[in-house]
Each structure stands twice: as C-alpha cells, then as structure tokens.
Structure 1
Amino acid sequence: MTTGSRHFDHAVQQGHLWLGDLEAELGDVDQEHTYALLRAVLHVLRDRLPPAEAVQFGGQLPNLIRGIYYEGWHFQSHPTRLHSMIEFVEAVMAAIAPTKLRHPRRAVEAALTVIGRHVSRGEIKDVQSCLPEDIRANWSPAPASGRTTD
C-alpha cells in the first residue's frame, strides 16, 4: 500500500523497518506490544536526556519515529532522574502497563539495541554519555550497519 507521496511512503517504510527489527529481537511479542515498547523506551530515554541532547537525538530519527519520540513531550530544563537500568526498565513498564512482556529488561535492552542499529554510532555515544553508568553498561552498541534515518 502506498500513499502516493514518496516522502510519506518512505516514513512508513522506516517505521515498519524499526518495528520489524524490534519484533525480530523480541521473538515472541505482537506488533501492538512492540510498538508500545518502542514508544515507551523512546519517551523514557528522551525524558532522561538533557534538553539539548534530546533535541539533537530526535533530529537523528526518521520522520515517523521522530513523531513518536516527540509525542507528548513537555520541555523540562532538567532530565528525569533514573540512576539505574532497573529504574529505566520500571519507567518503561509503567508507561505500557498492563503488558504481556515476560522479560521486561531483555525487551528494553532489545529496544535500545534497535535504536542503536538505526542511529549513527556517534549520536548513540553522545546519548550514552548523558546516562548513568549502569544504563550505559546495559546498552550494547549495535554493529555498524549504516544509518536508516532520512
């Protein structure tokens, strides 16, 4: 199905690519929960970053994913305080409750892996430098495979 606009079609294609990659990482999660997970991880990550870095990171996302990322954002001069991966996962799970995710931490790590696969390595390093060590340590860099942003 096409919209007749190559820009719109490309945005939809990129959204499907991100969700498909996340579904492949998760293996046993339906599309609805995959979308909810990606959205929640993007929002928790965005709210944890200093505003300038949040905007810079958002600029690296493909159009459709960028819209999801900025959805409902209320600018705050200071990022939310999440000091550990456990707190990060809890914030994500609170955003998508109730959920059928059997392994929440693995699911969040999978979402971070997919984000890392589609955003430039330099930008991921910038984002990671704004996060506590415990979160950085649990966000493995994805193999360099090129960017898919537009």
Structure 2
Amino acid sequence: MTTNQALNFDKYAQEGNLFMHELGEMLNHPGEQDRAQAGRLLRAVLHTLREHISVGQSLNLIAQFPMFLKAIYVDQWKLSADRERIKTMEEFTGEVENKQREEGEVNFDWNEPTSTLVEKVLISLGKYVSAGELSDVEAELPGEIRRFLQERVGGE
C-alpha cells in the first residue's frame, strides 16, 4: 500500500500524549510529574514481554500498535532467537521492576503490587490489540503467566 501523505509526527505525539494521560489516570498517577513514571512502567512492561515471546509474535503484536507504541517496543531491541525462560508471575514482575530501575525509577510509590500495574498496562493496550492477538501472545508464555493474563487481562 502506498500513500501520498506525509508522515504526521505531530499526530503520533498527540496520540502518545493522550495514551499516556489515560494510562496515568488508570494507574492513579494522573499528574504531569507522574507521566515519566508511567512511561518507565510502560516501557518496562513492553520490554519484559518482548523478551519472552518470539520475534515473529512480537512483529505480529506491534503490527497492531500505533506508531508511538511501536517506537517504545522496539527501542534498544537486540534480536535473539534465544529467549530467557521464566516460569512465574513473580519472575515476570521482578523483571519489570528491574527494567524500571534501569530506566531511572527510584520512587516506586505505587499503591498497588507490580502484578496489578502490569495488568493495567496490558489492559490499556487492549484498545489497539485484538483479543485473538493477545491470545497468541499468551500462548507463548509459561502457564502461570498465561493464566494470569487470561484471567486478568483477557484474550480468548
């Protein structure tokens, strides 16, 4: 498909800002100061997820994302056929927390457990990702994590 329209980066920024505002509200961190914290969490969840699904599945997932989420997802991505295998939700949330620290998170003043924050981030992505695609992502994850997503986030 070809188009004669110029890339509208202002539109991407506007969509991204609206999404971050909505995510901040969902996380009970609605202020401008909280946007960076919500952004670190979003990046940490996406980067943790991509490390535990195949490259092909990642490409299928980001095909449904708007441009601003695609950029976050692929930022600093080093493709590898080998994936670390985690088995528990505790390991998954531990990786999310480590990635937040790597991004400069120091406050961790969330009033909810990391698993609930992960749930909220993934639910917020539901406006872009079909239930079928979410189900395909879930199928590549270990049982405990898959069940968590099926029960708390959705999918098929």
**TM-score exceeds 0.5:** yes
Deviation of 1:6 after TM superposition, in Å, equals: 6.8
Please tell me whether the aligned partners of residues 37 and 92 of structure 1 are also in contact (alpha carbons under 8 angstroms): yes
Corresponding position of 1:141: 153
Please tell me whether the aligned partners of residues 51 and 78 of structure 1 are also in contact (alpha carbons under 8 angstroms): no
Q: Render the CA deviation track for 1:83-130: whole Å, top value 9, x for unaligned.
A: 111111000000112342343221111111112232122211111111
Q: 2:92 aligns with which of 75, 81, 88?
A: 88
Give TM-score, length-normalised by structure 1.
0.82
* Secondary structure in structure 2 of the residue aligned to 1:118: coil
Long gaps (5+) in structure 1? 144-150
Give TM-score, length-normalised by structure 2.
0.79
Identity %: 29
Does residue 64 of structure 2 align to residue 60 of structure 1?
Answer: yes
Q: Distance in 1 between matches of 2:22 and 2:86?
A: 26
Corresponding position of 1:45: 49
Cα 1:86–1:53 change in 2 (3 A) is same
* Secondary structure in structure 2 of the residue aligned to 1:80: coil
Deviation of 1:19 after TM superposition, in Å, equals: 1.5
- C-alpha RMSD over aligned residues: 2.0
Could you tell me which amino acid in structure 2 is paired with residue 106 of structure 1? Answer: T
Could you list the runs of 4 or more consecutive aligned residues of structure 1 that deviate by over 3 angstroms after TM superposition?
Answer: none
Q: Render the CA deviation track for 1:3-34: whole Å, top value 9, x for unaligned.
A: xx772122112212321232122113611110
Q: 2:127 aligns with which of 111, 117, 125?
A: 117
Please tell me whether the aligned partners of residues 66 and 128 of structure 2 are also in contact (alpha carbons under 8 angstroms): no
Corresponding position of 1:23: 24
Q: Distance in 2 between matches of 1:142 and 1:18?
A: 20
Please tell me whether the aligned partners of residues 58 and 66 of structure 1 are also in contact (alpha carbons under 8 angstroms): yes
Could you tell me which amino acid in structure 1 is paired with residue 93 of structure 2? Answer: V
